[in-house]
Amino acid sequence: MTIYSLYIFDRHCECVYYQDWHRTRPVRAPPQTSFKPGVHRLPPPPSTTSSQPNGNVNRESIFSENAAAAANRNSLVSNGTSTSQSNKLSLPKGLPFDEEAKLVYGVILSLRNMVKKLSGRDEAFTSYSTSSYKLHLFETPTNYKFILLSDPSSDSLRFVLRQLYVGPFLEYVIRNPLVKVDSREEGVDNDQVSVVPQQWSQRDRFPTSSRHQ
């Protein structure tokens, strides 16, 4: 049972914490305009970005990634000679971090609304799975959303998220007088918050390393 990544969203629908383990497709740093300090440990974007003078960065979308991957596939089919080059390009580049966080939040919100409408009561969905990952959601009464991505064979990891909330998050973030809770500029840059999922992923580190080799 491996854990891939952890997101925490606050009630302003913004990602305030992100941590990842075992990802093979690395997440790219967000462009300068939407970089919030303290959310994640990714390297900050260079201060002189290759953008136009009026600040419009060429933002990637999921469709541009699709076009690049399709072009690579076509070139693989047409000329099998330049395989080494296409092998390097065939792994699609990850989306910038803020785009990915927005996508995750959008999926969560839409699924939650759908489940709420279908069931008639105010219940939220707990997890969804695809063939390659499983996403677990834990929502607090204060509208913080804890999201964990793991491999599809795991059982419900909601209790891990609940332990994370009740333990390190409440203790070291909410009850910390120096942390600006509910700020819109800073994220939750706290080592303690990733302790519980870290322990879980370390417990399974041997099975995952043998799977990768």
Contacting residues toward another protein, per CB under 8 A: 4-5, 20, 22-25, 62, 65, 87, 90-92, 95, 100, 103-104, 106-107, 110-111, 113-115, 117-120, 123-133, 135, 149, 156
Name the DSSP letter for residue 185: S
> Counting Cβ atoms within 10 Å, is residue 120 exposed (0-12), middle (13-18) or buried (19+)?
exposed
Question: Shortest Cβ distance from residue 211 to another protein (Å)?
Answer: 11
Rounded-to-integer distance, Cα 39 and Cα 16, Å: 5
Question: Shortest Cβ distance from residue 116 to another protein (Å)?
Answer: 9
Which CB atom, from 62 or from 71, has the smaller least distance to another protein? Answer: 62
Q: Which residues pair with 135 in a beta bridge?
A: 128, 149
Which CB atom, from 65 or from 186, has the smaller least distance to another protein? Answer: 65
Per the CB < 8 A criterion, the answer to whether 111 and 128 are in contact is yes
Which CB atom, from 173 or from 200, has the smaller least distance to another protein? Answer: 200
Render 38-68 in DSSP notation, one character per residue.
Answer: TS--SPPPPSS-S--TT-------HHHHHHH
Which CB atom, from 114 or from 174, has the smaller least distance to another protein? Answer: 114
Rounded-to-integer distance, Cα 69 and Cα 154, Å: 30
Question: Shortest Cβ distance from residue 196 to another protein (Å)?
Answer: 19
Question: Shortest Cβ distance from residue 183 to another protein (Å)?
Answer: 27
Which CB atom, from 81 or from 132, has the smaller least distance to another protein? Answer: 132
Question: Shortest Cβ distance from residue 197 to another protein (Å)?
Answer: 14
Among 140, 189, 131, CA closest to 163: 140
